Each structure stands twice: as C-alpha cells, then as structure tokens.
Structure 1
Amino acid sequence: MAEDGVGSVLQELYKFALEERALLTGVEKEFIDIKDDLESIQALLKDADRVAAYEEEEQGYDKGVKTWVKQLREASFRIEDVIDEYNMYEAQKNNHSIFITTLQMIPGLSRHMNPLHKIASEIQDIKSSLGKIKERSERFQFDKSEIRSGSYRGTKAPRIGDPRMAPYFIEENQVVGFEEPRDELVNCLVEGTNDLLLVSVVGMGGLGKTTLAKHVFDNPLVKEHFHYRSFITVSQSYSMRELLTEMIKKFCKDSNERIPKGLQNMDDVKFITQVREYLESKKYLVVFDDVWEEKFSDEIKHALVSNNNGSRIIVTTRIMHVAEYFKESFLVRVHVLQRLPSNKAWELFCKKTFRGQCECPTELVEMSTEIVERCGGLPLAIVAIGGLLSTKAKETFEWTKVSQNLRMELQRNVHLTDLMKILSLSYDDLPYHLKSCMLYFGIYPEDYTINRKRLTRQWMAEGFIKNEEVRPLEEVSEEYLTELIQRSLVDVSAVGFDGKVRSVKVHDVSREVIIRKMKDLSFCHLMNKDGEQVTIGVTRRFSIAAFSNSDLKNSGTRAIFVFDKGDLPEHFMDGLSSKFKLLKVLDFQNSLLTSLPDNMGNLFHLRYLNLSHTKVTILPKSIGNLVYLETLDLRQTKVHQLPQEINKLTKLRLLPVYYRRYEGHYDMLNFTTGVQLQEGIGGLVSLQKLYFLEADYGGIGLIQELKMLTQLRKLGIRCVRGEFGNALCATIQAMNRLESLNITAKAKNEIIDLDSLSVPPPNLKVLNLKSRLTKLPDWIPNLNNLVKLRLGLSNFEDDPLDSLKKLPNLLRLNLWDNAFSGESLHFQVGGFPKLKEVDLTRLDRLSSITIDKKALQGLQHFRFKNNPQLKVLPQDLQNLKNLQFLGFAEMPAELVDSIEQGGPCHWIINHIPLVQIRQNEGSKFHDYKLYRIPTQPNA
C-alpha cells in the first residue's frame, strides 16, 4: 500500500513538472513581449514629458496628456519590477535544493509557493492595463505623432500676463545690484575694437540676465552710440527667418527707413544676402535674449556681417556651452552673471517688500534676514517672495507662516508660481537622460553639499548612465554632471587641486522646483522632521531625514537614503531584505547604523551600498550573494576584516575601506588602518579601486594575487614589509590601468626597494610613498602624467627637487615626515612648470629654502608645518607673485612673530591674499584654531 502511495505522489509530481515546464515556456514569451513594451513606453515618455510640461505652461489646456503620461510611467514601473523579479527568479531557481523544488510541485502548494506563477499573473495584469491606457488615449485631443516630432517644442516668447514680461518694464530706480555688470557691458559696447564683438551673458534662470540686457540696451550712452538697435526675444521656439525679419523691421522703424520689400518671399540664400547688404554700412546693436541652443550661432553667423563699424551683439543664455560655442564664429566676451551679494539682496528685498518706506521694521529684521538668505542671491526669488510679503500684515506671526510653508506657497500662490514656472524651464529643456540625474538633487536635504563621486556612483547604480561608446562609466557620468553645471542648474561647491569638481549643490529655490517634479513623477518620497507620512501608492525612492512611526512598505522601491542622525528603528532594519527586494541603491552614510542584518544578501539587485562613516564593524557572510554589487563604500568604518565570501563579487568595481584616527595624535604609519582580505581576492575581476589593503595579513601570496586585478585604477596598500619589494614591483608592473598608487611601510625603518619596477604604469597620476627608500627610484622622474606626488619617511640626504623638477604635469608636491633629511631645498628656475601646491611638513633638519627668481610662477598654495629648524622666513617667497595662500602650522615662534603685521618680514608676504596661522589647542587632530595675518595684496 505504501508503494501505491509513493507511486501516486510521483505521478502527481510528474504531472506538475510538465505544467511547470509549459508555464515557464509561456512566461518566457510573455516576458520578451513585455520587455519590448517597456522600450516602446520609454521611447514615448522621452517626448511625452515635454508635452506634459507644455500643458502646465499653457493656461486652460486639457490635462489629458499629463494624466496619460502619468499612467504610462506607472505602467513602466510595473514592467521594470516584473523584469527584475523574473531575472531574480532565473538566477536563483538553480540554487534551490531538490527538496524545496519537490515541495513546490506538490498539489495545492505550487501556485502559492512558486514565484513564477506570481510573475505570470502580474504580466497578464500589466498587459490588461496597457490596453486600457491605449483606449483612454484615443479619447484625448492630441496626435502621438506630434509628440514624437516635437510639435510641442518648448516655450514661446513672453505674452501679456507672462512672468517673463516683467524685466522689459522695470524702471531704472527699481534695479538693484546690476550697477557694476551694467557699466562693464556698456564699456564693452561703446569702446574697444571696431570688429564685430559678441557678448554672452550667462547665468541660471531668475538671475536677471534679461533685466541687465534691457538696461544696457536702454542706457543713454548705448542709445547715442548705436543708431540701429534691436532687442529680440528668442526663447525655445523660434524661426530664425522671423527673428532676422523682426530685427530689420526694428532697425528700419528707429531710423525711419523703408522696410526692404519681399523678405518673406525670398529663398534662404537670397534672404541672408539681403540682410547682409542691409547691415553692410551700419553700426548696429542687436540683443538676442534667452538663447537655448548651440545651433543658434551657426544660424546667425552668415547674416550678421562684421563690417568694421564697431557693431555689437548681446546674447543671454542659461547654458555655458551655448555661450562658449559662439567663439567658433565670433569674437566673444563671456560675462558670467553672479548672484547678488548679501547687501544688495537685502536692498532689493526691502525695496520690493516695504515699498515707500524701504526700511524693515525692527521686529521683522531677523525673520527677513532668514528669508533673504534662503533666496540665495537670486533676484527673481527675492522679488517674488518680497512681492508676496508686501501683501501680508507686517507681523512676525504672518511672516513666520510664509517662511515655514514656503514649499506650499510656491505651488499655490500667484506671486510664487510664476517663479516656479521660470525656473522649471531649465529642467524641462533638459535631454531626457539628464532629467533623472537632475531629480537626484532633490533626494538630498536642503542646503546639502553633495560629493561628486557619491552622486555619480548612485547614478551609475540606477542605470542612468548610458555608455554607447564603451568608455568608463565614471567618465560618462562626469560629463553628465558637467552638462548640468554648464546649464546653470548645479553650483560647484569645491574644486580639487587638479581643477576637478569635488562637490556640488543646488540653489534652495531650484530644489523646490525639483521636489515638485519628483512628486509628479513618483521619483522619490521625502520623509522629514515635520512628520510627513509615507506616500500611499507608487514611489521609487525614499529619502529619510527623519523616520516616522509608519512602517515603510513598497516592494518596487529602488533606492533608500538615510539622512536621519538618530537611532535606526529595528523594524526598518529587520524588514529591509524582505520588503525592498528590488533595491539597487542603499545609502547609510553618516547614520548611526551599527550592524547589517544577516540576510543582507537577499537584496539580489543591490548595486550600491554606502556604509561610510557609520558604526558598522562586521559584514555578514551573505554579502557574497550580492552578485550585482558595484560599489561597497566602507570609508571611515571599523570594518577591519572582510569575509571570504566577498571574493564572489565579480561585478564589484569600487571598494574603499579604511579608518582614520582623527581622535588621537597624528602618526603617519598608524593614522590610517586598512582591511584584511582573504585568499581568493583575484576573483574580484572587475575591481577598479581598492584602498587600503593590509599587506602583512596575506603576505607575498596576497600581493601576487593582486596581479589578477587587471582593471585596477587605484590601489592603496599598507603594512608593506621590506621583503615584499620585488613581488610588489612585479604586481604594479602588471597593472597597466593604474592611475593612483599609495604604498605605506610596516614600520619607520622598513626599507622598501622599488627599483625593480622597470616599467611603471603609464597612466599613473597620483603617487604616495611612505617608506624608507635606498634612493629615489629612477622611474619616478619619468612619470609624465603624474599630477600629485607625496613622499614620506624616505630620508633622502640629497635634495630630491633636482630629480623631480622635470615632471611636466605635476600640480601638487608633498614632502612629509623627513622625506628629506638635509638642511636646504632649492627650487630652480625652469623646474616644476605646472606646480600649484607645495606642502613641507615635519622635515626636522630643514633650515633654509631657496627659490630662484621666476621659479614656481604658477604656484598658488604653499604650506609649512612643524619644521622646527626653519626659523627664518625664506625671503624668496616675495618672488611668488601668483601665490594665493600661505599657511603655517606648529612653526617656530620667531618665524611666526617676524611675519606679523609690523614684523621685520611682513613685507615679504604682504602681496599674498591669504596668510594663515594654525595653532594647536589639544592633542586631537581637529583641536586647533586658525587666524589670519592682514596683508595688502593690491597695494
């Protein structure tokens, strides 16, 4: 009887196995179909987004397109989810044990336990929804072919009631803060060369480019100088033929001339010829306001003839590369319009807000100052918010309400919605691939400075970076960021010594525009300190400034960012892997995270995991299941050992992991600790950045295994012993892509011989060597691409500058911790042609520095720290005419006293804009204060 029972079960299992196979075959076909649907939807959305933006601009236009776009987007979300679910099923199905597979085939359990059934059901439901969306679209009064052809392209010239009309009618006494740029532009127009000169005025929306151009255009000196003047609004929708015709008509009207006949009926060649002939003998001024595209230059270059009469063109634009592109065809001067300084911003605010009295009541000064600061020097924001406040009672309570509810006011108040419209134009004009990148700035809290690498790595993990030319993704992502900066949408906060952008931010008011777009697009939900509840429905990302009591639930979420500085709720961490199984980005940087759940490896799709500056000390072994992980950021964590399972991550590209002891006294060898890696590190075949690796843990075997990491571009290796020298040289020589190398010895007296490195990496740009060296390796002076060199502990008895001076691209030179054990350094004329920064720190015997006249002419920063024998200021510093910063820390008192104002050596440094003294106040790394020595650089 038992055998009969077993036979019956086996028969059922066989039956269900056949059903399973049939189901699998059907799902595969449906899966391919729905992937094609997604591509079609995404292609349509690229242009449909622009149509939806057009709808918002056009008053009274039917909302049908916007609704239809929203439905399409949500359908695309569902398709993306089911694709990721299917891919996860495919990858994991072979890992199930035979026992689990058998259970899934038992009647009554199969359809509940097998995820394939759920996927098949979801696909059918999506296809049904797409059919309904198509039916609804047929009721709308628009043609989808018009969307694809771009008939809804951009904005038109301002009309009555349009907020962009205001700059044309601002009285002279209402203009604040433009006096200096106005005078500069007027001089450009009426003085100088007789050649045709084009002036590009560039800056973000709302900065006052049109206001400035109009007041320059109407300036009495300009009117007298140019008898032929025309002010043309271009905007995003224009016909060049119409613009040039309008220009000619205005010229003719002002000079009482007859308009040339037949302009409209001429072919293009004859039309351009007619325009050139008309302008041939005239001294003219034409302003093209609000130019958006580079091709505009190509369209006007043949018509606007250079007739040696001192004619001028002014172009205003939000886009730097548009401003620069005119250089191909014209003599160009680019004027970057700056934001208002605080005093001018306050003056403009008071003029707009308090009208006749122009003075702020005492009780409102503090609140008004805060509001002006939030406007960030943007004239349009100041005018808009000032106009709103002018209608309110002059009471603290009323103004506090406006300040606290500014986001809501921006969306509903007529004074501020116009501001939002103008700033939105720049976002709406973005290419589709940059819109998601721009929206990412709304994820970060207000006034947050964003690290470039952090941001671009998140873009890459989300799949925003499209690499069609097989270039490094980092290179493409930086191009995307540069484009946003060029379009005046993103501000640069900090730049590195090499000129690369280090951090960025967006204007607070621009961020409000982004947040509005994010909500419309279900891009991200912000959880903030105001207790805002979690959005019900679709949201692709969570930005958590403060956790609420609500339980986060959204299986389609792709990214979570934790900015909350408090303890993380247990329910959030416990449910992370089960509730957000499609996550690609998870960022805990600077949070109080203490540990990761053991089942972290269930986040199958995770590509970016940022644990930097958290309290995490151990990674779970399941981390080895994150097969798609590209970035694992463990900077400033006390993770000192990685599990061997990490070596399974064949797609891992970036692994920065270290801890720096800022809490204690500085020691070059022990200030930074790295990580121990297990045997098998050669499996990380995609790894591009690894720092810092503890070499003494794995020894020569580990160093030799590094040869397998052929993609490595940055390597930091610590605790290197002398006997590792030859093996390390052989490994480095195999790394042809290496751009940054950091080697630190195990102990101060450990001598590392690097001379056997006969052919160094050809692309090496950064080199840090902290070790005793028998001599300066011959290959270092031949590193033609080197931009940064830091030497420490090397104890060279001879001046190393003589060997290093020919490095053609060196920008920064650091000699630290007795890198040089002699008494005198000599910077020779002709050496270090591009050097910008020099740092001399803890050189115990250094007592004098010679700088030849005309040497180091490009040097901008010079720092001295804890050089006890350097008691007399080098007089040759007077020869460094381009030096912008001179810093001293822990230097002998007699040197510091000599450069104080009135001191005998103050004259040597009086030409330097910033001279700074650092004084220690405790034993910790950051226990110090800074004070400045007054100088007169322009005296």
Structure 2
Amino acid sequence: MAYSALVLLMQTLDKILHPCPQISSLKEKVCYLLDFLEDSSEKCTSTITDLEGQIRDAAYEAEDIIESHLAKESLSESSTSFWETFCSTIQNVLPAFRQRKVLNHDLEMEIKHLWKSIEEFEFILDSFFKIKKGKMIELLRPVTESLAGARLSRTTSCGQRAMVGLNEDFLKIKDWLTGSSSSREIISIVGMGGIGKTTLGRNLYEDSLIDYHFDTRAWVTVSQDYHWQGVVKDLWNSIALVKRESHDVLVLGYYYRRVWHRFGGVIPQHDEVCTEKSAESVYKCLKGRRYLIVMDDVWDTKFWDDVRRLFPDDDNGSRIILTTRLSEVAFSSESFSYIHDMNLLGFDESWNLLCAKVFGEECCPSELEKIGKDIVRNCKGLPLALVTIAGVLSKRRTQDYWEYIARNVKLGVNGNDDRLLEILSLSYNHLPHHLKACFLYMGVFPEDREILVSRLIKLWVAEGFLKPLYSKSLEEVAEDYLEDLVHRSLIMVGKRGHRGEIKTCIMHDILRDLCVKKAKDERFLLVLNRNARNLPEVGYTEYRVSIHSHILRVGMHDSRVRSFLYFAENKSSNLSLSFARFRLLKVLDALTITFYEFPTQIVELVNLRYLGLLIQSLFGLELPAAIVKLKNLQTLILIEDMYDFDDAVLRLPSEIWEMPQLRHLSFKRGLLPRPSRERLDRENSFDMAHLQTLSGVKNFKCRKEVFRIMPNLKKLGISYVFGNREKRSSYDFSSFVYLHSLETLILSFDDREHWKDILMNLAFPSKLKKLTLSGCRIPWSKMTIVGSLPNLEVLKLKESAFEGRVWEPEEGEFLRLKYLLLDRIHLRHWKASETHFPNLQQLSVFFCFELAEIPSAIGDITTLEMIELYRCSHSAVKSAKLIEEEQRSLGNESLKVRVK
C-alpha cells in the first residue's frame, strides 16, 4: 500500500498553508516516489517490494504527526504554528534537542519523529535511484531456458480435463472454430481467475475434431511477465510437438542457444537478429496452412500488437484464441470476432464437478452427500475453489473429516492448498499501484453484500485513494477505477442503471477473502466479524476497522484508526464509542447504529471527511452550529428516523454554508436555511464549488443567487410540502436553469394540493440527464419543457406529475430518452409512435388504472427491449401483449413484455 500511503501523505502536506523548507523538500520526495511507482511496470515490482513496506510505514508515520498537529491547530486559538516551531528547531536541531531550552519533552519527541521520517525518505530515495539505474538491464533479460521448459511442460500435457459445467461453452466455441467463415478470426475467453478459462481452452485444443480440422496447432502460455523472444520460441516448440517440423526447429534452437550463451544469458537490446529470424520462421511455417493458435493467460493490451505479424491471414479459416482475465485485452485487438464471457457454475454443475474430482465414476456415499452439498454452496460456483476443496476432501472420505472441512471450508480452500490463493493473487499483484487500495477496500463490506456504487465512490474519495486529474472530478476518476476493476474480473456488476452506469457491484466470496487477507497483511484494514458483544482494544497499528457483528463496545486508546465502518444488520444496537479517542478519524460510517441525538463529540474530529449517521427522533432534530468545525468534511449523510409530521424535520444550521469542502449532502427531510441575502450579495462570500449532491432537502428556496454558489451541483432532490401560512410566491422554479452542471433532478410536491399557479414558469438546465417529477399536476400541454431537453435519458413521472386525459407528444422531442416510467398517472389516452421516442429501451407503467392501451406503434421502436406493466387496466395489458405478438411475427425476439 505504498502508493496509497503516499497519495494520502501528499494530500495532508497540501493542507499546510505555509510549509517550511523541510516540508517542501518532503513534498518533492513524495512526488518523485509517486511518479516512480506510477511509471514502474507491474513486471518489475519484485525489485522494489521490500522498499514499498518502508515507504508505507514512513508515510503513515509522517502523516500521523502532521495530521495530529493540523487537528490541534484547527481546534486551538493559538497563533503559534507547529510548523514555525519545527522549522526554527530544525535550523539548530542538535543544540535544541540536547539543551531542551525551548521545547517541552512531548513536542521535542514529535519533532524528532517527523525529522526521522524525512530522513527515512532520503534513504528510500537513494535506494530507488539505485533501482532505477539498474532497471533497464533487468528489463532486457529474456526468459530463461528453464522457464521456457517449464512453460512447455505445462502447455503440452495430454489428457482431457474435467468439463463439468463447460459443455455448453465448449460446443458453442467449437462450432465457431469449425464454422464456415474463411477469414482469420480471433476469440477471447474472458473471466475471473479460477473460473475455467484454461480448462476450456485446453479441451478445445485437444479435441479430436479440432485436431483433424486444422493443419497445425500451437499453444503458448503468455502470463504476466512475457518476453517477445520467449513467446516466439514457445510457439516454435509447440508447433514442433504437434506437427514435427523438426528440421526448422532444431536449426532455430541451435541458433538461439548460441546467441544466448554468447551474451551470458542477456541478449543486447540492439541485437534483434534472433528475434526477427524467429518471427520470420514462425510466419513461414504458418503460411498457407489452416492453423489454430491458443495464447493462454494474456495480461497486456499491447500483446496482440506485438504478435499479430506472426500470423498470416490466407482466408482459409484459421483461428486464434486468447484467454484473459481482463476484458480490455479482449477489446484491444481491432480484428476480434467474438468475446466469450465465462460464468460461475450453477449448484448442480458445482456438485457434479466436486463428485467427479473426489469419486471419479463412483457415486457419493449417502452419509457424505448433505455435508458435501453444504461445502459446494460455500464455493459459490468458482471451479478453481471446487477443484481445490475436492483435493482436500479426497484425502479422507469419512463423515467426521468432511464435517470438519464443512465447518472450516474457507480454511480448506485458502489454507491447506495455497494454489488457489496463489492463482487469485496474480490478479492482485498485476494491479497498477493506484488500483490496489481500491480493491483491498472492498473487504470492508460484509460477505455477499451487494454494494451501492454511489456509497463506495464517496468512501474512496474520502479515504484519499484517488489522485486528482485536471480534466475529471474525483468521482469521475473513481468511476474509471471501478470499471477497470470490473474489466479485470475482480469485481462483478450487480445492477446497471438505465443509462448504463454501474449502480451496484458484488465480489465473489473467495476474492473477498483474498481482499481481507491481503488487507490485514498490509496493515490496511482490520475486519471484525466474530459474534462477540465486546472486543478487546484495537491496537495502534490498525488503519481502518470494519465491524460486521453486533458488537456493543469497541475500545480504542489514542488509536491511529482513520476509518471506522459498522455494518451490523440490527439497527437497534447502540454502539458505545468514545469519539475523543478517534483523534485522526477521517471516515465514520455508522448508518446501522441508532443514535438518539447527534453525538456532539463528533464536532471535535476535525479531520473527518465522511460522516454517515442514523438518528432516531420523535419530533425532529437540530444539527449543532458547531458542525462548522469539520472544515474537511466532504460527505454528510444523515438518515432521520422520525414520525411523519410536517414539522418533524432535520434542521440544519446556516453555518453549513461555511463548509467549503462539502461534496455530498444527503438527508431524508432536511430543512436547509437559505444563506443571508447580505452575504450572498457580497462577491466570494460563500464557496460551495465542490458540492455535487444535495438530496432529501425540504422546501428549498430556489433562487439564482443561491444556485450561483454551487456551480458544480450534479444531483438535486427536493420535496415541497407547504403549510397554509407558507408564501409560495417566494419560490422561483425557473432558477433551475442556472445549475449548469445538473444531471439528476428529483422534484416531489404534495399531490393533495394544486401547484399549477407557481409551476407554470418551471424550467430545467440543458445538461439534465435524469428527471423525476411527482405531484406537480402540470397540464400535458406543457410537456414540451421536458421533451425538449437535449440530453434527457431517464424520465420518471409519478403521482399525478402531469394531469389531463390525453397525452400527445410533439415531434422532435425525447430524442435521447432511454427509460420512461409512468407511475400513478391519471391518463386515459396516450397517442404516441416510434418517432416520438426513437431511442427508448424500456417502458414501465405502474398503477395506471385508467390507461386504455399502450400505443401499438411503440412496438416499432427498434431499440425497445422491455415493456413492463404492474397493476394496470386489462385493456392496457392486452395491448402490450398484442405488441409483443406482432413483433415476434415480424422476427423481433428482443422485445419482452412483463406483466405483474
């Protein structure tokens, strides 16, 4: 975790407004080390692994000292800065330390520790210079003879592999390999580590029909640390074993060995003779022949560019298979023909695979069947896990032993056979430095938990894992990181939004176990999941703590813990925390703990960046003005559990506008006061430029001058419930147009009242992509204010958002709309065609009892995939089914109609 520790330290150093020369020098060293780690290839990390631990420890130590004093200065009214003292002391460091004339003992020790950290960075930097000096020699070293031989022995072993659960995949790809297409085609088999990519590829490669169909075949295991010379040589050796091209191979092998020994095992960079001759020979051998090449375990997107010239395209039906964990590798070939995604096994397939491995052709004894099936469920469909645990179970087929393994199945998978952990660890080891912390952080979430991506991204940002980019927000950088982890098959997509964005993600249990183990080894995260009411005090070394059980008390004594996350399901448990001991806390996520009032001690945690609390109150709650002390707070999530009274709200102080680092404010019913007009009129009086989310606010005053101070707001959610004495005329709903960055808007009005008089001037910004309206009671004739939005992709109309008996859309509107929801809309006739919603993908109609029918022309929308109806009139349901039947008769099988 050296990289993430350096990123965090750099963010901390940036907080020092007037750094002394020593601190500026430290920043330069941190910048250099960050650049070095970013530029260094994953293939060279073995040479710097030892130093990475030193970097992490030194960065943590320096950050602890600096953050501690930043917190003290923030809470103190003293004008004397620690940095002034540090700078003046360091100028005469030895006399000051020896004579102790100015400093008290504690301050002296802290200065010593910080100076020691700076000296530690000096030492590390010297070591990195030495590594950098010798780096090029290391990169020029090709694959050794023994490694090539090991590769060959792995790739040429015969015998059919277990095909349980892969038969459908096997037949599908086999048909493609022997298909009628004459052009050279490429297939990529993509999936997480241990899912069976190599097994599937090997069975295809060794199939008798495949052997008969192709003139020649070759298998090469590429792996992470591939070298051009090694790949070419392995290709030659594999071809020789299959088709006995002995003469050419012997000549090439003799030439290769002569060059190898001549240069002492190091082929100079300028001498490309051997490589070029090898490439030319491979090309000539394949020229004119129908060949099958399997390149297993490809990691580098540039690999295909390196090898493509080896493979001639003679329009004779040749095929190339790549197996990879990274979907970006699959797409890196411009001429790829087919990408095959591997899926986890179902329960029956998993059980059959386990039985095949443990018992062969025999049946499982009845006394072991129930236990065995429990073990299978814990393997969650991952073939490598099943094969690994089968090796453990086959050692002793007794009921007592199997019951023991069932109780400790993860020990059996991850402990007794290190092969599974080693193979899955390759995915982690290959990660770029900037993704490792993000991956390990997935371990904070409980097992089998579908993770809300919006929450995950906010946590990543607060933790400081993301290095800012000039052209993107931190949240956009986080989205890119998440997509990268998905493409590497380390995280699976749970749900996608209607605009294609990832809404939730999940992680295979065994990969999560890898996360937790690696995180603990790296001192990155401690997960407490034992069923205990109390735990001993967490030590000084834990950096993040995630609690998954109903623990009522956790002791921490002046801990360095930066993040505390509580995920117990029982919301009635009230965790006892002494917040004063969390002096360096940055993240407090306690949305499953019930607080009965706002914990006032929290305002002393001035380093806090993320705060999520659940507060239960009968008639409302008022947030203290002292919350303004949390100058570093980025995310504030308060879920208020209160009676459903109009006055039962969360009242926020006006000081909330004086917290410039805020990025996300989310409430259930938060009453947010408008900034004073006098201060709004003063230029630069407020700065909420970082604010991106403001949701769950009640009766928010929409004014141009208010929106002006939040120019980067992307998501806004407001509900309006006015009392009799409320002056509605003070609300200007045309002011939304001044939110130039707004992408998501949720407006909810009490549908018991009529709002037409104040909503007739409603207007929206042009960047809006997602709009939800409820209770507005706007006439359908005014729908053009919505339909004309050029970027609108999702529209949800709820609870009489529009009123009238007939809706007839205008031509040229809703040009980008992908999802349309009509929920409790009192509409009788809807006159629409494919020209009104040219890009619609899903139509959902809920509780529309009066709607006579779904317009038949809706079925002619070429992009439409789903029509969903719930509790609608019989005539509307009948019309939807008729649309489905008509489209099927026209050959359109993609449109589905779902009725509930």
Q: Could you tell me how far apart the structure 1 residues matched to 2:183 and 2:347 are?
A: 38
Cα–Cα, structure 1 residues 418 and 225, in superposed 2: closer, same or farther, change >3 Å? same
Q: Could you tell me how far apart the structure 1 residues matched to 2:602 and 2:558 are?
A: 17
Cα–Cα, structure 1 residues 569 and 637, in superposed 2: closer, same or farther, change >3 Å? closer
In structure 1, the residue matched to 2:238 is: 250
Deviation, structure 1 residue 732: 1.0
In structure 1, the residue matched to 2:544 is: 541
Residue of structure 2 aligned with 1:374, choices 373, 378, 382: 378
In structure 1, the residue matched to 2:302 is: 295
8 Å contact from structure 1 (residues 718, 743) kept in 2: yes
In structure 1, the residue matched to 2:810 is: 803
8 Å contact from structure 1 (residues 196, 331) kept in 2: no
In structure 1, the residue matched to 2:404 is: 401
In structure 2, the residue matched to 1:448 is: 449
Q: Structure 1, residues 870-917: CA drift from partner, whole Å, max 9, x if none?
A: 556433533236999xxxxxxxxxxxxxxxxxxxxxxxx999867453
8 Å contact from structure 2 (residues 33, 125) kept in 1: no
Q: Could you tell me how far apart the structure 2 residues matched to 1:52 and 1:279 are?
A: 34
Q: Map residues 533-932 of structure 1 onto 2, 5 A cutoff.
A: 536-546=539-549, 547=551, 551-553=555-557, 555-565=559-569, 572-573=576-577, 575-576=578-579, 578-611=580-613, 617-635=621-639, 637-638=641-642, 640-658=650-668, 673-680=669-676, 683=686, 684-695=688-699, 705-719=706-720, 724=728, 727-746=731-750, 747-756=752-761, 760-770=764-774, 771-774=776-779, 775-791=781-797, 792-797=799-804, 799-803=806-810, 806-818=813-825, 820=827, 823-843=828-848, 845-852=850-857, 854-867=859-872, 870=874, 873-880=877-884, 915-917=898-900
Describe the SS at the equivalent of 1:611: strand
Structure 2: tracts of 5 or more residues without a match: 1-15, 85-98, 257-271, 643-648, 681-685
Deviation, structure 1 residue 53: 7.6
Cα–Cα, structure 1 residues 190 and 794, in superposed 2: closer, same or farther, change >3 Å? closer
Letter in 1 for 2:312: V
In structure 1, the residue matched to 2:260 is: none
8 Å contact from structure 1 (residues 156, 237) kept in 2: no
8 Å contact from structure 1 (residues 31, 83) kept in 2: no
8 Å contact from structure 1 (residues 595, 618) kept in 2: no
Q: Could you tell me how far apart the structure 2 residues matched to 1:161 and 1:387 are?
A: 27
Residue of structure 1 aligned with 2:208, choices 209, 217, 220: 220
My pick for the range that moved more, 748-757 or 235-244, is: 748-757
The answer as to 2:77 corresponding to 1:74 is: no
Q: Map residues 67-106 of structure 1 onto 2, 5 A cutoff.
A: 69-94=52-77
Cα–Cα, structure 1 residues 109 and 749, in superposed 2: closer, same or farther, change >3 Å? farther
Cα–Cα, structure 1 residues 595 and 723, in superposed 2: closer, same or farther, change >3 Å? closer
8 Å contact from structure 2 (residues 563, 586) kept in 1: yes
Q: Could you tell me how far apart the structure 1 residues matched to 2:442 and 2:432 are?
A: 17
Deviation, structure 1 residue 811: 1.6
In structure 1, the residue matched to 2:195 is: 207
Deviation, structure 1 residue 204: 0.7
Deviation, structure 1 residue 514: 1.4
Residue of structure 2 aligned with 1:235, choices 223, 228, 242: 223
In structure 2, the residue matched to 1:310 is: 317
Deviation, structure 1 residue 348: 0.7
Cα–Cα, structure 1 residues 39 and 343, in superposed 2: closer, same or farther, change >3 Å? same
Q: Structure 1, residues 551-593: CA drift from partner, whole Å, max 9, x if none?
A: 12353222111113457998842x21x2222222111123334
Q: Could you tell me how far apart the structure 1 residues matched to 2:408 and 2:358 are?
A: 18
Q: Could you tell me how far apart the structure 1 residues matched to 2:61 and 2:69 are?
A: 12
Cα–Cα, structure 1 residues 164 and 436, in superposed 2: closer, same or farther, change >3 Å? farther
My pick for the range that moved more, 559-568 or 211-220, is: 559-568
Q: Structure 1, residues 629-667: CA drift from partner, whole Å, max 9, x if none?
A: 111122465452112222221111111211xxxxxxxxx
My pick for the range that moved more, 310-319 or 747-756, is: 747-756
8 Å contact from structure 1 (residues 44, 148) kept in 2: no
Deviation, structure 1 residue 550: 5.4
8 Å contact from structure 1 (residues 153, 237) kept in 2: no
8 Å contact from structure 1 (residues 497, 812) kept in 2: yes
My pick for the range that moved more, 727-736 or 605-614, is: 605-614
Q: Could you tell me how far apart the structure 2 residues matched to 1:117 and 1:620 are?
A: 37
Deviation, structure 1 residue 852: 2.2
My pick for the range that moved more, 143-152 or 283-292, is: 143-152
Letter in 1 for 2:65: V
My pick for the range that moved more, 519-528 or 767-776, is: 767-776
Describe the SS at the equivalent of 1:316: strand
Deviation, structure 1 residue 466: 1.6
In structure 1, the residue matched to 2:645 is: none
In structure 2, the residue matched to 1:483 is: 484
Describe the SS at the equivalent of 1:485: helix
The answer as to 2:269 corresponding to 1:278 is: no
8 Å contact from structure 2 (residues 575, 593) kept in 1: no
Cα–Cα, structure 1 residues 290 and 132, in superposed 2: closer, same or farther, change >3 Å? closer
Deviation, structure 1 residue 437: 0.3
Cα–Cα, structure 1 residues 567 and 475, in superposed 2: closer, same or farther, change >3 Å? closer
Q: Could you tell me how far apart the structure 2 residues matched to 1:202 and 1:25 are?
A: 49
TM-score normalised per structure 1: 0.78
Deviation, structure 1 residue 694: 1.8
Cα–Cα, structure 1 residues 709 and 599, in superposed 2: closer, same or farther, change >3 Å? same
Deviation, structure 1 residue 494: 1.4
Letter in 2 for 1:87: L
Letter in 2 for 1:259: D
8 Å contact from structure 1 (residues 525, 542) kept in 2: yes
8 Å contact from structure 1 (residues 202, 337) kept in 2: yes
Q: Could you tell me how far apart the structure 2 residues matched to 1:195 and 1:912 are?
A: 33
Cα–Cα, structure 1 residues 276 and 152, in superposed 2: closer, same or farther, change >3 Å? closer
Describe the SS at the equivalent of 1:728: coil
Q: Could you tell me how far apart the structure 2 residues matched to 1:504 and 1:620 are?
A: 36
Letter in 1 for 2:658: K
Q: Could you tell me how far apart the structure 1 residues matched to 2:546 and 2:101 are?
A: 38
Deviation, structure 1 residue 799: 3.0
In structure 1, the residue matched to 2:87 is: none
Deviation, structure 1 residue 157: 11
Describe the SS at the equivalent of 2:739: coil
Q: Could you tell me how far apart the structure 2 residues matched to 1:169 and 1:292 are?
A: 23
Deviation, structure 1 residue 170: 7.3
Cα–Cα, structure 1 residues 719 and 727, in superposed 2: closer, same or farther, change >3 Å? closer
TM-score normalised per structure 2: 0.82
Describe the SS at the equivalent of 2:623: coil
Cα–Cα, structure 1 residues 872 and 737, in superposed 2: closer, same or farther, change >3 Å? closer
8 Å contact from structure 1 (residues 193, 310) kept in 2: yes
Q: Map residues 42-61 of structure 1 onto 2, 5 A cutoff.
A: 54=46
Describe the SS at the equivalent of 2:806: coil
Overall identity of the aligned pairs, in %: 26
Cα–Cα, structure 1 residues 614 and 480, in superposed 2: closer, same or farther, change >3 Å? farther
Residue of structure 2 aligned with 1:336, choices 324, 337, 341: 341
8 Å contact from structure 1 (residues 217, 223) kept in 2: yes
Deviation, structure 1 residue 210: 1.0
Letter in 1 for 2:370: E
Cα–Cα, structure 1 residues 76 and 25, in superposed 2: closer, same or farther, change >3 Å? closer
Q: Could you tell me how far apart the structure 2 residues matched to 1:648 and 1:558 are?
A: 24
Q: Could you tell me how far apart the structure 2 residues matched to 1:198 and 1:849 are?
A: 44
Q: Could you tell me how far apart the structure 2 residues matched to 1:158 and 1:367 are?
A: 43
8 Å contact from structure 1 (residues 158, 164) kept in 2: no
Higher relative contact order (CA 8 A, sep 6+): 2
Letter in 1 for 2:66: I
In structure 2, the residue matched to 1:929 is: none
The answer as to 2:183 corresponding to 1:195 is: yes
Cα–Cα, structure 1 residues 525 and 351, in superposed 2: closer, same or farther, change >3 Å? same
My pick for the range that moved more, 490-499 or 169-178, is: 169-178
Q: Could you tell me how far apart the structure 1 residues matched to 2:811 and 2:727 are?
A: 27
